[in-house]
Amino acid sequence: MIVKKLIEKIEGEAELEFSFKSGKIDDVDIKFDLYRGIEEILKGKAPRDALVITPRVCGICNHAHLIASVRALESGFRDAGFTFELSKKAKDIREFTLSCELVQNHIKWLYLTIFPQLNRVLKSDPDDNYALKASYIANTVTKAIAIFAGQWPHSSYAVPGGVTCDPTYIDIISAQNLIDEAIRFTQKVLIGMDLDEYLSIESLSQLKTLGGDFGKLLFTLEDNQLAKIGKSYKSISSKSYT
């Protein structure tokens, strides 16, 4: 039996085709049939217009599209014979802002999609603070992006050859303070332990000492026999456990 289902909450739409065997999902195919047409919009435009238009394909991961666009332009300019090198400062700023967006993306995914969906599946009482937690930490991290990018979402500070910002000492300290606050949130609310202690986890037995909301998620999955259903990778947070 094959069942089709439309899914949302992914900055667009996708269609899943579930194949069942013995009453359980045996395989899933995912299809992205929605065509945004960003490529069509860019036709005939000045190359640097891509830095403004392309990020608007998504309101959650727009910065990733900006970086992809500027890298494509830089590659094109090099192919055309132009020679230039990005400064270490420009590379570091791009990497920092891109990493910040990744953090807020994961936080929103966890608190606004995974936890509420898990509550519905298990018919458990929802935590009224999910949205507040997601908003607080995402807002904190995106403020750090805006210090260098001027705004978030849809910033366009990354340009071929570098960035348009030249952060001052105060800018850097302000961003550092925001990241420190994000780390405090992670330690106190998300993992319930010191960050260095979490990064030193190397076994499943050590992982079971995890606290916070992430620990609650892992234990809930295990208690309800959901930890291995649909398993795709033998890893948790980029580490392998046995």
Who has greater pLDDT, 29 or 80?
Answer: 80
pLDDT at 12 over 80: no
Domain assignments of the chain as residue spans, ordered by start? 1-34, 35-190
3-state SS, one letter per residue, for 38-101: HHHHHCCCCHHHHHHHHHHHCCCCHHHHHHHHHHHHHHHHHHCCCCCCCCHHHHHHHHHHHHHH
Split at pLDDT 50, 70, 90, the class of 128 is: low
Domain formed by 35-190, architecture = Orthogonal Bundle (1.10)
Who has greater pLDDT, 152 or 7?
Answer: 152
Q: Could you read off the pLDDT of 152-195 as tens digits, one per residue?
A: 888 889 999 999 999 999 999 999 999 999 999 999 999 999 99
Among 109, 106, 96, smallest CA distance to 146 is for: 96
- Contact (Cβ atoms closer than 8 angstroms) between residue 210 and residue 218: yes
- Burial label, 182 (beta-carbon count in 10 A; 0-12, 13-18, 19+): buried
Among 87, 181, 190, smallest CA distance to 142 is for: 181
* Residue 208 dihedral angles phi and psi, to the nearest 5°: -70, -10
Average pLDDT, the chain: 86
Mean pLDDT score, 31-43: 84
What does the block give as tokens for 88? 């270490």
State the chain's maximal CA–CA distance in angstroms: 62
Amino acid letter for position 193: M
Quick one: what percent of the chain has pLDDT higher than 70?
Answer: 88
Which residues lie below 8 Å from residue 111, measured CB to CB, with a gap of 6+?
130, 131, 133, 134, 213
* Beta bridge partner(s), residue 158: 163
Residue pointed to by tokens 């891509």: 50
pTM > 0.85: yes or no:
no
